[in-house]
Amino acid sequence: MSKIALQGGATGTATFTIEAPTTSTNRTLTLPDNAGTVLSSASDLDAANLTGNVAAARITDALNASGSAPIYACRAWVNFNGTGVVAIRASGNVSSITDNGTGLYTVNFTTAMPDADYCVSGSANQGSGSVECVGESSGGIRTTAAIQVAILNGATNARTDRPFVNVSIFR
């Protein structure tokens, strides 16, 4: 039969108490067959130890993702004003945008993408009498560090500035 040894702290002076709950039912608390520190409600859990079905369920629940289809994350995004004084409203993993001319911008990533095979998605608010299209610019750069996008007037196909431009990167 294996044994249980209780050992006091080497230097502390306080008393550590193990207390039973208020119950009339006999219970057995089985310790794990490995070394380590018991996790309490006040403990931090190393992300490396958060694995398996419970972790997967927690993540899919947090993302309201039903079903078993895999989830692929947005790796960078930006919402900016491309008119007047061009400015970024909000962003994630974007260090800056480069205004290269009318309707032509480079989105620079703070942390590089794992490769340049990512998916680019974009939108811009509608102008008067036209629907704007945001896409990868012809001949523009596509690297792990940055992507160049153009905003085109849907009626004339000319580059245009719009007050709401949104770009997101998936990989």
Partner 1 sequence: MNSRIIYPNDDGGVSVIVPAPECGLTIEQIAAKDVPAGKPFKIVDVSDIPSDRSARDAWTVDIADLTDGVGGESNVFN
Contact residues for partner 1, defined by CB under 8 A: 78, 80, 83-88, 90-92, 94-102, 106, 108, 110, 141, 143, 145-146, 161
Contact in structure between 100 and 106 (CB atoms under 8 Å): yes
> Least distance to partner 1 from the beta carbon of 61, Å?
27
| H or E stretch covering 170 | strand 165-170
DSSP string, 111-151: S--SSS--EEEEEE--BTTB-EEEEEPTT--B-SSEEEEEE
> Least distance to partner 1 from the beta carbon of 88, Å?
5
Distance CA 78, CA 93 (A): 8
> Least distance to partner 1 from the beta carbon of 141, Å?
4
Q: Which is nearer to partner 1, 116 or 133 (CB)?
A: 116
Q: Which is nearer to partner 1, 100 or 123 (CB)?
A: 100
> Least distance to partner 1 from the beta carbon of 109, Å?
9
